Amino acid sequence: MRVIRKNKDVIAFFQSLRERAFGSGSEIEQRVKAILDDVRRNGDRAILKYTKTFDSHDIKRLEIRSDEISKYAEKADRKVIKALNLSAKRIRAFHEMQKETSWSFSEGDNLLGQVIRPLERVGVYIPGGKASYPSTVLMNVIPAQVAGVKEIALCVPTPKGEINPYVMASIKLLGVKEVYRIGGAQAIGAMAYGTKTIKKVDKIVGPGNIYVALAKKMVFGEVDIDMIAGPSEILIIADDSANPAFVAADLLSQAEHDELASAILITDSKRLADAVDKEIEKQLAHLKRKEIARKSLDNYGVIIITTDIKEATELANHIAPEHLEVMTEKPMDVLPMIKNAGAIFLGEWTPEALGDYSAGPNHTLPTGGTARFSSPLGVYDFLKRSSLLKFTRSGFMELASTVETIADIEGLEAHGNTIRIRRQELSR
């Protein structure tokens, strides 16, 4: 990995991180727009066409029925089923803590408050191209269920007709009944616009490749979305007390995702930097996905040496990483200095992989610096809020002149008339 110290080199690297994500006006963006337009116009027919083109699968039925789900789930290894069950329980317990309730308060005879309701219908995209992710089913469906969403529809790509038993096992475990064997931008279009077979949803959640990410971006407004997920990221703040093997392993855990993933170590220890660099090479040689990890590290992996840990946290806040690990002698002392991060992992026994699968917090996290203003997926993403107002005649009169004054200075005569007409009625 590259080791940098100079400020200008750090700035240049930060710029490369920003530029690695997709941009507007790209050729891919035009392709995605064409697919979405086709799905909007032609519905199921377009879905079938693109599934045959991109997934080499000439499907006859979009749905994966419950009996099919059960059949494939039965092929899953019992040890994996046990792991998924434990993870699901922990994820559900964590998200139960995020529940919100309606509230109101009285102001004399007046009533003000907020009504909390779950979304009616949500679409979940489960990636299924180069790999399949049963953990994504758990992380996206469970918060929706905890929120009380009545209808949850899943889109799961099945390239060449292959159905992953572990994804089906997760789906069966959670009791989801509505599942479709489609993926890519066409699946996003189907959920956003609706087709003869697939009913339109209110919100789409779940990660995917660049086609899926761009499609979600384009349908936002037609439906809500969770976020536009970019390449995976990990940033580790470590001092001289950190174990080089642990640091290297955790950096590689993100580098193996894809060639655009970023893995960053920021440390005030030259000794640790050198040791981690050597350890990465040692561990990399034994990884099945070493070619992917190598490209990731060559392009977007870096070790930054700072004067102290305070400077390290300042750089980390600037990057606002998806995953932030703190491997210092006293990680709790560092926590107050962290302002921007999707998830924070404290101490050497808290690797990012715990959060990916079984700890409980959601692994759907803001990327590309968006942790500056956004949050992990949670129950709150599947809720909507309505303000509640109920005024009596005396309560109305108490605010009438104030509202009328503001309406008049804004030039909205009809707004003011809603007050004047009622005041005239009361004066009769």
Mean pLDDT of 260-267: 95
Contact in structure between 424 and 404 (CB atoms under 8 Å):
no
Q: What is the signed CA dihedral for 139, 342, 8, 3, rounded to 10 degrees? A: -60
- If you search the block for the tokens 């309606």, which residue do you land on? 102
Show me where the domains of the chain are located.
2-21+231-359, 27-225, 391-427
Q: Decide if 322 is catalytic.
A: yes
Helix axes 165-174, 66-73, angle to 10 degrees: 120
Q: Give percent of the chain with pLDDT exceeding 90.
A: 86
SS3 state of residue 265: strand
SS3 state of residue 403: helix
| Whole-model pTM over 0.85 | yes
pLDDT tens digits, 131-156: 679 999 999 999 999 999 999 999 99
pLDDT tens digits, 34-93: 999 999 999 999 999 999 999 888 888 999 999 999 999 999 999 999 999 999 999 999
Pairing of strands 121-125, 151-155: parallel
Look over the chain and give the mean of its residue pLDDT values, rounded to a whole number: 94
In CATH terms, 27-225 corresponds, of 3.40.50.1980, 3.10.310.30, 3.40.50.10420, 3.90.226.10, to 3.40.50.1980
Given this structure, which CATH class describes domain 2-21+231-359? alpha beta
Among the options 95, 257, 323, 363, which is catalytic? Answer: 323
Report whether CATH 3.40.50.300 matches the domain 391-427: no
Query: Does the fold of domain 391-427 match that of domain 2-21+231-359?
Result: no
Q: Where residue 282 falls among pLDDT bands split at 50, 70, 90? A: very high
Mean pLDDT of 180-195: 97
Among the options 256, 322, 325, 348, which is catalytic? Answer: 322
